[in-house]
């Protein structure tokens, strides 16, 4: 009896010890003739697309390769990128989400192929926006095929019904924005007889240079876009007088309660709620939020949702000029690690695959789906198939993730999406029109391509000094002198060195 | 033959002490042959610690290197104590140390005694239905994640609209933005900690309380001791060793001020008092990719924790002779 029990114990021990050593394996060498391509990409949906879905099959059919995509949750993507690079099983193509310190260090240590002189050889990888490619580079070195994004997105959204009720015009200048915000706060735009509304809703969003409402207003005031040229040198936009002016303007609105009082803590995921519920009538953000807001009203009342949401693009500053705030124009890039693609010959084959993926056929697949299954083409636009089949729905769901692989470096090589109703189509067309018009007055970040070593090492800590001071100033915890002191502290804590390095890179590349 | 020995071994350290002394004289091989099955049973535990606890420690070496993931742990450049020097000379250092210690001592000084008080109160409840209901109710918050606790705080204390804000505004006439006022950051953190974990912490004390000799209470009642006398002279001495062990463990964990809780409650207005080692390591290490630097910070924190745990143990032994090890 006892002996049997002990043998059992021994067996349990042995098995569990074996299972500890059983987790080896993996790390396949890439085939020389490249029959398969492995890609690491983020997914933002609740679940990654299935590996045997229709989109996957079509993608393999169009490229003629086995495509193995390692879908990684977006929230931990940066960590996984670094862990992957430190490991032995490295994919041939990696989606890199931006010039993060981690990526820059790896790239400068030689982890990725330098594609600067390579991309132009491939018709679909040759960009028609060289400026954006330059912005996505590290000091002029292109380490990946950038993922193109709308270059202009800044917009001011407001409750159109409130504006009509108070007999106001849509804002054109920052001064108009103040007037509308004041009227929304004080003139009872919802007509309930109570003083329970405010003008602009701003969520907890303090970091510098992240296209926050503060960044937008500063740029409209002429402070520049992160960096600006002054007396032949580049300085950070927060060292301009316009930066202080813009924040005085925002502070005036905070003090007069035209902005939600909890702007320092308000949860950004609830940003639409005060707008929809009739508390705060203005949102300053990207123009795609217009369609989100319209959709909210549509869901609440499908028969009467028009004319609830109005919007304009960028606003003129107090100098009477339009300094429109563009985006970086890209969202990361697809890079090729040297550890998995060893020779130039292999690199050429991988780039050929990327070239195919950037062609019209694959771009349509990744962004629109499969024609006849989830969409049909109507007047050159992709309209959702009615009625939706379960197969079509699966494709529509999957492409939300596959679109992450789209690069579109030569403009959008696929169909624009047809909106659900005429009104929504009008709104969409107007958005496109306004953004195209604003793009002509865009003020770009002159330092975008340059990466300073000091900034990589401690840029985020440095920027936090100014970003926190900005919020503290607006909340009244410190005065303007305190804000100026914080900007000086940025300089002395390492900012002066960042300025020196950026200016040197800028001069060298001029 | 072996079965009684197994039982004796399994029943705890106290029981094994006398045989251990006898064994000293026996030769190891004889001893090993005798207990080979027990050693085999020990093996998975040793392997677990070797593979998952001690093995990864080689990664700590990146605290002394300029780690770049592509170059790997071995390929990265050795920089010695550079990161430690940077950290100690950084103006952030005194602020982080201060914030971490203040929060740690507040939690230890307020939340820890409250656990004992709650356990004593529960112990005095006569009606067992009531006692069990209350016990279950106070355990529940422990199972909510910090995200939910933070969301609840945001709802309750939100400026102008939060029920707690309105209540305090109406009753006391205060107009405080609890969520962004730096002065209210620490009280909120301690309150959340109390709300979430006090009930759960009572479990061990309640178990200890059930072992206190009931005869002593009867004797005390006959002697005319009141309720507080009995708690002071019988109950508390009865669970003293448990309190000390729990205190040493709590002190070992003291610097783990809790990343999630503090990260969620931090905003631009209270960051000066909110930044602690844990959030700093995340901010510098994960969001900025300064792995070596943040590892150095984490290592420093662990060393302080180690000193604290040994120090308390030493103190406890000096005064009570019943430390943790």
pLDDT tens-digit series, residues B11-24: 444 444 555 555 55
Q: How confident is the model at residue B317 (pLDDT cuts 50, 70, 90)?
A: confident
Give the chain A residue whose CA is nearest to the CA of B41. Answer: A13
CB-nearest to A109 from B51, B68, B288 is B68
- CB-CB under 8 Å, A10 with B37: yes
3-state secondary structure of B242: helix
Give the whole-angstrom CA distance, residue A93 versus residue A189: 53
- CB-CB under 8 Å, A471 with B269: yes
- A275 pLDDT exceeds 90? yes
Half-sphere exposure of A132 (CA within 13 A, CB side): 26
Q: How confident is the model at residue A252 (pLDDT cuts 50, 70, 90)?
A: very high
DSSP A212-224: -HHHHHHHHHT--
Q: Which helix (H) or strand (E) holds A71?
A: strand A66-73
* Cβ–Cβ under 8 Å, residues B155 and B101: no
| Nearest CA-CA distance, residue B189 and chain A, Å | 16
Give the chain B residue whose CA is nearest to the CA of A112. Answer: B70
Give the whole-angstrom CA distance, residue B62 versus residue B60: 5
| Nearest CA-CA distance, residue B264 and chain A, Å | 10
- Terminal alpha carbon distance of chain B: 32
CB-nearest to A102 from B179, B268, B289 is B289
CB-nearest to A106 from B48, B68, B271 is B68
Q: A52: which residues sit within 8 A by CB, 6+ positions away?
A: none
Superfamily of domain B91-318 in the CATH hierarchy: MetI-like (1.10.3720.10)
For chain B, percent of residues with pLDDT exceeding 90: 35
Q: Supply the angle between the helices B291-320 and B240-252 in degrees, to the nearest 10.
A: 160
CB-nearest to A17 from B47, B71, B283 is B47
Over residues B101-130, mean pLDDT: 92
Over residues A269-276, mean pLDDT: 94
- CB-CB under 8 Å, B44 with A106: no
pTM of the model: 0.83
Give the whole-angstrom CA distance, residue A287 versus residue A306: 17
Cα-Cα-Cα-Cα dihedral sign, residues A160, A164, A166, A169: positive
Give the whole-angstrom CA distance, residue B176 versus residue B165: 8
Q: What is the pLDDT of residue B10?
A: 43
| Nearest CA-CA distance, residue A99 and chain B, Å | 11
Over residues A197-219, mean pLDDT: 94
- CB-CB under 8 Å, B160 with A461: no
- B294 pLDDT exceeds 80? yes
Which residues in chain A touch residue B267, judged by CB atoms under 8 angstroms apart?
A: 204, 206, 264-265, 471
- CB-CB under 8 Å, B283 with A86: no
Q: What is the pLDDT of residue A31?
A: 44
Over residues A253-260, mean pLDDT: 96
Q: What is the pLDDT of residue B226?
A: 86
Give the chain B residue whose CA is nearest to the CA of A99. Answer: B288
DSSP A95-125: EE-S--HHHHHHHHTT-B---TTTGGGSTTT
Give the chain A residue whose CA is nearest to the CA of B271. Answer: A468
Give the chain A residue whose CA is nearest to the CA of B42. Answer: A13
Give the whole-angstrom CA distance, residue A256 versus residue A250: 10
- A338 pLDDT exceeds 90? yes
- B2 pLDDT exceeds 70? no
Half-sphere exposure of A331 (CA within 13 A, CB side): 12
Tokens describing residue A461: 């800590």
- A29 pLDDT exceeds 50? no
3-state secondary structure of A233: strand
- A234 pLDDT exceeds 60? yes
pLDDT in tens, A105-150: 899 989 999 999 999 999 999 999 998 999 999 999 999 999 999 9
pLDDT in tens, A418-444: 998 999 999 999 999 999 999 999 999
B267 lies within 8 A of chain A by CB: yes
Q: What is the pLDDT of residue A8?
A: 47
Over residues A354-378, mean pLDDT: 94
**Of the candidates A233, A234, A130, A214, which has an alpha carbon nearest to the alpha carbon of residue A447?**
A234
Q: What is the pLDDT of residue B309?
A: 86
Give the mean pLDDT of chain A. Answer: 90
Comparing B26 with B214, which gets the higher pLDDT? B214
Give the chain A residue whose CA is nearest to the CA of B159. Answer: A262
- CB-CB under 8 Å, A468 with B72: no
Which residues in chain A touch residue B37, judged by CB atoms under 8 angstroms apart?
A: 6, 9-10
Q: How confident is the model at residue A411 (pLDDT cuts 50, 70, 90)?
A: confident
Q: What is the pLDDT of residue A319?
A: 95
For chain A, percent of residues with pLDDT exceeding 70: 94
- CB-CB under 8 Å, A2 with B3: yes
Give the whole-angstrom CA distance, residue A170 versus residue A312: 7
Which residues in chain A touch residue B72, judged by CB atoms under 8 angstroms apart?
A: 86
- CB-CB under 8 Å, A20 with B2: no
* Cβ–Cβ under 8 Å, residues A199 and A172: no
Q: Which helix (H) or strand (E) holds B265?
A: helix B259-265
- CB-CB under 8 Å, B71 with A109: yes
Q: Which residues of A touch B (CB under 8 A)?
A: 2, 6, 9-10, 13, 16-17, 20, 78-79, 82-83, 85-86, 100-103, 105-106, 109-111, 204, 206, 261-262, 264-265, 267, 339, 457-461, 464, 467-468, 470-472, 475, 477, 493
Which residues in chain A touch residue B158, judged by CB atoms under 8 angstroms apart?
A: 262, 265
Q: B129: which residues sit within 8 A by CB, 6+ positions away?
A: none
Give the whole-angstrom CA distance, residue B286 versus residue A125: 32
Give me the total of CB pairs closer than 8 Å, taking one residue from chain A and one from chain B: 110
pLDDT in tens, A61-76: 999 999 999 999 988 8
Give the whole-angstrom CA distance, residue B109 versus residue B20: 39
Over residues A47-58, mean pLDDT: 92
Q: What is the pLDDT of residue B48?
A: 94
Over residues A385-395, mean pLDDT: 90
Comparing B18 with B89, which gets the higher pLDDT? B89
Instruction: Annotate A419-429 with b (16+ C-beta within 10 A) or e (fewer).
Output: beeeebeebbe
- CB-CB under 8 Å, A461 with B92: yes
Q: What is the pLDDT of residue B4?
A: 43
Over residues A175-199, mean pLDDT: 95
Beta bridge partners of A312: A156
Unique residue bearing structure tokens 């018009």: A437
Which residues in chain B touch residue A17, judged by CB atoms under 8 angstroms apart?
A: 43-44, 47
Over residues B16-44, mean pLDDT: 75
Q: What is the pLDDT of residue B126?
A: 84
3-state secondary structure of B190: helix
pLDDT in tens, B210-253: 888 888 888 998 988 888 888 899 999 889 888 988 888 888 88
Give the whole-angstrom CA distance, residue A263 versus residue B159: 10
pLDDT in tens, B46-78: 999 999 989 888 888 999 998 888 888 888 889
Q: What is the pLDDT of residue B71?
A: 84
- B8 pLDDT exceeds 50? no
Q: What is the pLDDT of residue A6?
A: 46
- A1 pLDDT exceeds 50? no
Give the whole-angstrom CA distance, residue B306 versus residue A54: 56
- A228 pLDDT exceeds 50? yes
Detail the DSSP E strand segments found in B43-182.
65-66, 77-78
């Amino acid at each position: 009896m006892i002996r049997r029990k002990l043998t059992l114990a021994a067996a349990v021990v042995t098995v569990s010890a074996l299972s500890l050593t059983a987790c080896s394996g993996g790390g396949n060498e890439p085939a020389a003739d490249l029959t398969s391509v492995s890609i690491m990409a983020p997914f933002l949906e609740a679940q990654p697309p299935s590996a045997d879905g229709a989109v996957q099959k079509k993608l393999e059919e169009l490229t003629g390769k086995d495509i193995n995509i390692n879908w990684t949750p977006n929230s931990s993507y940066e960590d996984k990128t670094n862990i992957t690079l430190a490991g032995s099983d490295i994919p041939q193509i990696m989606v890199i989400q931006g010039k993060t310190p981690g990526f820059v260090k790896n790239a400068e240590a030689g982890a990725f192929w330098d594609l600067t002189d390579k991309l132009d050889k491939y018709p679909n990888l040759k960009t028609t926006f060289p400026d954006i490619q330059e912005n996505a580079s590290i000091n002029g070195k292109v380490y990946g095929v950038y993922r193109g994004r709308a270059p202009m997105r800044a917009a001011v959204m407001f409750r159109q019904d409130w504006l009509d009720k108070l007999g106001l015009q849509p804002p054109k200048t920052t001064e108009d924005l103040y007037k509308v915000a004041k009227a929304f706060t004080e003139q009872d735009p919802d007509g309930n007889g109570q003083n329970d509304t405010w003008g602009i809703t701003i969520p907890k969003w303090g970091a510098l240079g992240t296209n926050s409402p503060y960044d937008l207003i500063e740029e409209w005031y002429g402070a520049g876009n992160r960096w600006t040229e002054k007396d032949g040198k580049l300085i950070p936009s927060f060292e301009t007088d316009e930066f202080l002016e813009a924040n005085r303007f925002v502070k005036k609105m905070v003090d007069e309660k035209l902005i939600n009082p909890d702007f320092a803590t308000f949860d950004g995921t609830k940003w639409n709620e005060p707008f929809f519920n009739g508390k705060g009538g203005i949102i300053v953000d990207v123009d795609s939020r217009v369609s989100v807001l319209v959709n909210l009203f549509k869901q609440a009342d499908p028969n009467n949702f028009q004319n609830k949401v109005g919007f304009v693009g960028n606003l003129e500053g107090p100098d009477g000029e339009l300094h429109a705030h563009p985006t970086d124009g890209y969202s990361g890039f697809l890079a090729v690690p040297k550890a998995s693609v060893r020779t130039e010959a292999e690199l050429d084959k991988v780039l050929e695959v990327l070239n195919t993926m950037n062609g019209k056929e694959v771009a349509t697949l990744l962004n629109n789906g499969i024609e006849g299954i989830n969409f049909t083409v109507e007047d050159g636009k992709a309209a959702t198939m009615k009625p939706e089949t379960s197969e079509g729905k699966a494709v529509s769901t999957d492409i939300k993730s596959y679109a992450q692989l789209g690069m579109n470096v030569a403009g959008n090589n696929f169909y624009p999406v047809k909106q659900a109703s005429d009104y929504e189509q009008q709104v969409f067309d107007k958005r496109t029109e306004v953004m195209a018009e604003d793009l002509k007055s865009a003020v770009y970040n002159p330092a975008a391509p340059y990466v300073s070593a000091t900034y990589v090492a401690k840029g985020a800590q440095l920027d936090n000094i100014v970003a926190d001071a900005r919020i503290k100033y607006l909340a009244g915890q410190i005065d303007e002198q305190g804000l100026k002191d914080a900007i000086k502290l940025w300089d002395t804590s390492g900012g002066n060195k960042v300025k020196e390095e950026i200016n040197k890179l800028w001069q060298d590349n001029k | 033959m072996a079965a009684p020995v197994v039982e004796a071994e399994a029943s705890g350290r106290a029981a094994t002490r006398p045989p251990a002394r006898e064994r000293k004289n026996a030769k190891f091989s004889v001893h090993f042959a005798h207990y080979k099955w027990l050693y085999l049973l020990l093996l998975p535990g040793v392997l677990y610690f070797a593979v998952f606890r001690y093995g990864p420690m080689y990664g700590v070496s990146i605290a002394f290197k300029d780690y770049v993931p592509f170059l790997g742990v071995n390929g990265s450049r050795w920089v010695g104590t550079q990161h430690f020097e940077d950290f100690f000379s950084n103006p952030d250092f005194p602020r982080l140390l201060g914030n971490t210690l203040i929060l740690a001592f507040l939690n230890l000084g307020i939340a820890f005694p409250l656990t004992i008080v709650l356990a004593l109160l529960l112990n005095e409840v006569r009606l067992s239905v009531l006692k069990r209901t209350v016990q279950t109710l106070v355990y529940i918050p422990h199972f909510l994640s910090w995200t939910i606790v933070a969301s609840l705080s945001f709802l309750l204390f939100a400026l102008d609209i939060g029920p707690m804000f309105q209540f305090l505004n109406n009753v006391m006439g205060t107009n405080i933005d609890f969520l962004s006022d730096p002065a209210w950051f620490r009280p909120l953190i301690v309150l959340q900690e109390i709300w979430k974990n006090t009930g759960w912490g009572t479990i061990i004390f309640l178990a200890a309380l059930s072992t206190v000799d009931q005869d002593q209470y009867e004797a005390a009642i006959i002697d005319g001791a009141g309720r507080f006398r009995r708690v002071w002279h019988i109950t508390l001495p009865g669970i003293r060793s448990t309190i000390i062990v729990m205190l040493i463990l709590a002190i070992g964990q003291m610097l783990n001020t809790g990343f999630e809780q503090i990260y969620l409650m931090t905003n631009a207005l209270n960051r000066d008092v909110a930044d602690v080692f844990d959030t700093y390591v995340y901010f510098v290490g994960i969001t900025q990719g300064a792995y070596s630097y943040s590892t150095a910070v984490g290592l420093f924190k662990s060393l302080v924790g180690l000193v604290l745990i040994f120090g308390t143990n030493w103190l406890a032994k000096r005064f009570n002779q019943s430390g943790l090890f």
